């Protein structure tokens, strides 16, 4: 039997916890249920996450770090300075989401267990919003684009209305075109003022 690394074991536990929240609801998230789902002893679970609150905090931190890493990577690879944070946020939200959609359920668990556990995500959003507002594009339009991307993400998280894949692609395309138009306008404005 292959031995999992400490980080792999943590991911297995976080996936188990998020699966329980997603499939059975927050009230069924117990350390015993997570240990059973992850295929480890409760003691093994407690080694990594000493409480339910620590487990939920771990889910939020893991998700926030994953998105921060992806957005930063996209920003670094973007050859255009102006609009890179807005493009990156849009691209990651639509095309590079967390592979296990259940992990988003950790956010719902955090809100239910202790809203302060949402701090890693709040901090990430504060940075993203600041970068988007100072991205060289119209800050209001860039914010509307971020909010539209968040709307799709939240609709999928809450499963209250999921648009079909084709329509989602069209929404992404339209928002991306909007960013391109904002880029062109900003470049023209800067050129005209010089």
Tens digits of pLDDT across the chain (194 residues): 445 566 688 889 998 998 888 888 888 888 999 999 999 999 988 999 999 889 988 988 888 898 999 999 999 999 999 999 999 999 999 888 766 677 777 777 788 778 898 898 899 999 999 999 999 999 999 999 999 999 988 888 777 777 888 999 999 999 999 999 999 999 998 888 87
Indicate the pTM of the whole model: 0.84
Neighbour-count burial for 143-160, b at 16+ CB within 10 Å, e otherwise: eebbebbeebbeebeeee
DSSP string, 111-160: HHH-GGGGHHHHHHHHHHHHHHHTSSS-HHHHHHHHHHHHHHHHHHHHTS
Assigned token pair, 193: 């003022």
DSSP string, 61-119: HHHHHHHHHHHHHHHHH-S-STTHHHHHHHHHHHHS--SSGGGGHHHHHHHHH-GGGGH
The pLDDT tens digits for 72-120 are 999 999 999 999 999 999 999 988 876 667 777 777 778 877 889 889 8
């Amino acid at each position: 039997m292959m031995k999992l690394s400490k980080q792999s074991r943590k991911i297995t536990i976080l996936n188990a916890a998020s699966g329980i929240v997603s499939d059975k609801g927050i009230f069924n998230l117990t350390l015993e249920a997570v240990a059973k789902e992850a295929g480890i002893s409760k003691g093994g679970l407690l080694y990594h996450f000493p409480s339910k609150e620590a487990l939920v905090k771990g889910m939020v931190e893991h998700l926030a770090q994953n998105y921060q890493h992806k957005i930063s990577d996209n920003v670094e690879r973007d050859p255009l300075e102006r609009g890179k944070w807005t493009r990156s946020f849009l691209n990651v939200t639509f095309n590079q989401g967390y592979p296990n959609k259940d992990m988003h359920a950790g956010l719902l668990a955090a809100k239910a267990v202790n809203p302060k556990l949402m701090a890693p995500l709040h901090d990430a959003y504060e940075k993203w919003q600041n970068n988007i507002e100072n991205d060289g594009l119209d800050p209001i339009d860039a914010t509307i684009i971020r909010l539209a991307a968040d709307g799709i993400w939240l609709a999928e998280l809450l499963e209250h209305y999921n648009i079909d894949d084709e329509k989602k692609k069209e929404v992404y395309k339209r928002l991306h075109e909007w960013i391109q138009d904002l880029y062109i306008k900003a470049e023209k404005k800067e050129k005209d003022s010089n």
